[in-house]
Amino acid sequence: ALEKKVVKSKVGEKVGLLCCHEIPSSESLHNYRVYWQKNITEVVLAYAEGTMISKHKRYENRTEMDTRNLTLWISPVEILDNGSYQCVVQHRRRSQNSVVCDEHVTLFVTADFSKPNITAEVFADSCESTEMVVTCSSHGGFPKPKISAVLNNMSVVWNTWVSMSSLSLYNVTGKLSLNVTKDVSFTCSVEYNGFVKSTSLLLKKKDDCVVPTVPPSYNVITASSIIIIIFILAITLAARYLPRHVCSHCCKPRDSLEEGVKECMKPPVSSKVTSETSSV
């Protein structure tokens, strides 16, 4: 983390900015003036004759300087710490406090974005396709990110918005309208300062497609009605005909009450017997 001239750190971490001079063991900080400045005009802290003479209120309780190698330590790092720093060292014993070294160090602060969150809202469904709007969002990161979308391993163009929160952190959102005719894989990626965070989601076409029932045509209804009517008439006629046909072999009971039997109970007399009786 102590790389000269360009130092990278994340929000909340501890970072050290190296100065351009290290005090020899034969000397002490009392012989030097040391200034750590940000953006040239903002004094982070300053030492003279071994004593701190100035510290910026924004760095109170967050900064300290090594009295030997003059490294400026910042903890915890904040977004506003991002920028260019300058270390100026002067030697008291030399004429007119001559400058021993003057060097700039750039602190590049990053903040991790949240893992992208993907949602899919279905607006219309049919047997052929599913219409939906896919939204991907990530928040709380720095610096300003780039958000991209990939559909089945192919990059797509979509609408994106980037906003900044009160803490100077970025929030990013992307939206894409899709007409899904088959299952597809959607990947959303957020890139910032060499880091990439991605999330994938399988977008599914609706499977339970119900084909609407087609009502029968007028001709089919008419033909069916005629068949049903004919069937009912046939049953009615059969019901009326069958009882008469059966009863034609029966006879009515006699009017005489003395015999107490029905005429139809007598055994039938053959025509041959009747003929013989007539001839006698």
Same domain, 103 and 179: no
Give a yes or no: residue 221 inside a domain: no
Question: pLDDT digit string (tens) for 90-101?
Answer: 988 766 668 889
Same domain, 147 and 122: yes
Q: What pLDDT, on a 0 to 100 scale, did the predictor assign at position 167?
A: 73
Same domain, 80 and 124: no
Same domain, 89 and 105: yes
Q: Residue 214: how many CA atoms within 13 Å on its side-chain side?
A: 4
- Beta carbons of 203 and 183 less than 8 angstroms apart: yes
Same domain, 11 and 101: yes
Give a yes or no: residue 259 inside a domain: no
Q: What pLDDT, on a 0 to 100 scale, did the predictor assign at position 259?
A: 47
pLDDT bin (cut points 50, 70, 90) of residue 232 is confident
Give a yes or no: residue 119 inside a domain: yes
* Mean pLDDT score, 7-16: 94
Instruction: State the residue range of the domain holding 82.
Output: 6-110
Q: What pLDDT, on a 0 to 100 scale, did the predictor assign at position 239?
A: 74
* Mean pLDDT score, 139-143: 93
Q: What would the DSSP string read from start to end of 166-226?
A: TTS-EEEEEEEEEEESS-EEEEEEEEETTEEEEEEEEEPPP--PPPPPPPPPHHHHHHHHH
Give a yes or no: residue 261 inside a domain: no
The verdict on whether omega for the bond into residue 76 sits within 30 degrees of 0, i.e. cis, is: yes
Give a yes or no: residue 229 inside a domain: no
Same domain, 134 and 102: no
pLDDT at 81 over 70: yes
- Count of domains in the chain? 2
Same domain, 97 and 136: no
Whole-model pTM? 0.63
Same domain, 82 and 139: no
Question: pLDDT digit string (tens) for 12-70?
Answer: 999 999 999 999 998 999 999 999 999 878 999 999 989 999 999 999 999 999 999 99
* Mean pLDDT score, 188-203: 94
Give CB contacts under 8 A, 24+ apart, made by 229-234. none
Same domain, 24 and 71: yes
Same domain, 14 and 93: yes
Q: Residue 260: how many CA atoms within 13 Å on its side-chain side?
A: 1
Same domain, 100 and 157: no
Which of 110, 129, 163 is a domain's end point? Answer: 110
Q: Where is mean pLDDT largest: 60-69, 126-135, 200-209, 239-248?
A: 60-69
Q: Where is mean pLDDT largest: 150-159, 202-211, 220-229, 270-279?
A: 150-159
